[in-house]
Structure 1
């Protein structure tokens, strides 16, 4: 019988400047401060969130503290280790057991932009996906207009594999998607 991979991190996950940890009810105001903004939600697959939506997500989708099977997602708060402020949140999706595939993404408070926090948080998720969960391939799917997120993917060493022109009717208009990927054997050289 083959061993089934699982991911149950020991929290908080520490990086040079950040702590990644499960989100909690105490984070509602901080989450609302950026997830309620139209400009923050412009390129992501959800609308600006209300306090009630955030509460519901904390009780359901964001309640996972690990990954035990495909189809699950792990959303973690990205906290400044120096100040304790919630800077954003990051997600690791486990898409396929057979294909050992996953996806990463993040959303940051605008005040935290331009400091490399998203890159640092995404690097931690790549490490977890490849080294702890044993994924073979991790992707990032980004709206082409989201140049900041595309730059993060490139800084992580992810390869742009596709540009899907007008592939989705997204928030009232056609969007072009950039697909980035990294393979497990490429991971050591990008760290």
Structure 2
């Protein structure tokens, strides 16, 4: 996934979302490497992360109080019969519990709905990531099903369940 360097800057109540820049790489890799984040995301897939990926996926650096605190990204399903967008997010453990994740997800969701015309969004946290599930529910996402053995544990030795959550445009809180 990547963000086009000329993509929009999005303003939330407490966060700023801007396309990932090369200068963000070291901080984002360091945050993603923290045990509290790596538990859910695993290590970066390539040495170029987060600037790698294809043109249909978009990444934004999450900035709060003037500093990089995480990443939020989206991908789109372009087939008109199934058109929707999916969101992923992580934040530094230093800012967990402050509502910044909700603000980042809400800000990106508003862009996807209002500016890009999506009627439905999905997010798929690990089923046991209770803090993430609560944050997404606070934005308007609803659980629509448990996906059994959905993804590998970051250590690659086992499987864990995922929770499929979706939100319709008029459900954004």
TM range (shorter): 0.7 to 0.9
Q: Provide TM-score, normalisation by structure 2.
A: 0.85
Confirm whether residue 182 of structure 1 aligns to residue 167 of structure 2. Answer: yes
1:100 CA drift (Å): 1.8
Rg comparison, structure with higher value: 1
Q: Provide TM-score, normalisation by structure 1.
A: 0.77
Unaligned runs of at least 5 residues, structure 1: 1-7, 65-71
Confirm whether residue 146 of structure 1 aligns to residue 129 of structure 2. Answer: yes
Unaligned runs of at least 5 residues, structure 2: 1-5
Q: How do residues 47-126 of structure 1 correspond to structure 2 at under 5 angstroms?
A: 47-49=42-44, 53=47, 56-61=48-53, 72-80=56-64, 82=65, 84-98=66-80, 99-126=82-109
Q: Which has the higher contact order (CA 8 A, sep 6+)?
A: 2
Q: Deviations over 1:29-51 (max 9, x none)?
A: 3113211224312223xx3249x
RMSD: 2.1
Q: How do residues 35-50 of structure 1 correspond to structure 2 at under 5 angstroms?
A: 35-44=32-41, 47-49=42-44
1:25 corresponds to which of 22, 25, 46: 22
Count of aligned pairs between the two proteins: 165
Do the aligned residues in 1 keep the contact of 2:118 with 2:169 (CA within 8 Å)?
Answer: yes
Secondary structure of the structure 2 residue equivalent to 1:176:
strand
Q: Deviations over 1:51-96 (max 9, x none)?
A: x72xx1344338x6xxxxxxx111100001x3x1101010111123
